[in-house]
């Protein structure tokens, strides 16, 4: 499993806001599972919509059901934000295998290309083929 170094990149990883609900399952250390909806995604983390919040800095196993299949990875939960009837909770990936990283990169890149393609027709504003190529 690849572990990410916590470094400050020169630029922030692009985030994709998800219109369609992508399901996610969080598995806690005690084996309990919590279902969530993914609201935002990048190759470094994302934002989950939960019915109950999880403690900040807790490490979990996160399974995200992408269009290409499930991606299972380790993640650290960050400070939750309360909203009407639910919580928005950011997370960051802490460990991921190479296959999972490439599947996530393909998904994020595809969603970015869709959003760029619908907003503009200028060829000069082309998204990178894969984000990891520019990291």
The string of pLDDT tens digits covering residues 40-85 is: 999 899 999 999 999 999 999 999 998 889 999 999 999 999 988 8
Give the three-state DSSP class for 67: coil
Residues of the domain holding 102: 13-133
Q: Is residue 5 one of the residues assigned to a domain?
A: no
pTM: predicted TM-score of the whole model, two decimal places: 0.76
How far apart, in Å, are the Cα atoms of 71 and each of 23, 26, 30, 75, 124? 11, 12, 21, 12, 32
8 A C-beta contact, residue 77 and residue 62? no
The pair phi, psi for residue 99, each rounded to 5°, is -65, -45
Higher pLDDT, 3 or 56: 56
How many structural domains is the chain composed of?
1
Give the three-state DSSP class for 132: helix
Q: Is residue 92 one of the residues assigned to a domain?
A: yes
Closest C-alpha among 67, 61, 77, 50 to residue 104: 67
The CATH number covering residue 87 comes to 2.40.10.220
Q: Is residue 6 one of the residues assigned to a domain?
A: no
Output Rg (C-alpha) for the chain, integer angstroms: 15
Highest mean pLDDT: which of 15-19, 24-28, 80-84?
24-28
């Amino acid at each position: 499993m690849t572990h990410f170094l916590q470094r400050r990149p020169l630029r922030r990883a692009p985030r994709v806001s998800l219109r369609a609900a992508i399901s996610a399952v969080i598995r806690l250390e005690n084996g309990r599972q919590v279902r969530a909806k993914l609201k935002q995604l990048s190759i470094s983390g994302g934002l989950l919509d939960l019915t109950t919040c999880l403690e900040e800095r807790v490490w979990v196993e996160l399974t995200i059901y992408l269009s290409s299949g499930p991606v299972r990875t380790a993640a650290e939960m960050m400070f939750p934000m309360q909203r009407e009837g639910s919580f928005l909770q950011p997370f960051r990936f802490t460990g991921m295998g190479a296959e999972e990283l490439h599947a996530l990169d393909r998904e994020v890149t595809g969603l970015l290309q869709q959003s760029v393609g619908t907003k503009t027709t200028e060829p000069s504003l082309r998204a990178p083929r894969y984000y990891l190529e520019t990291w």
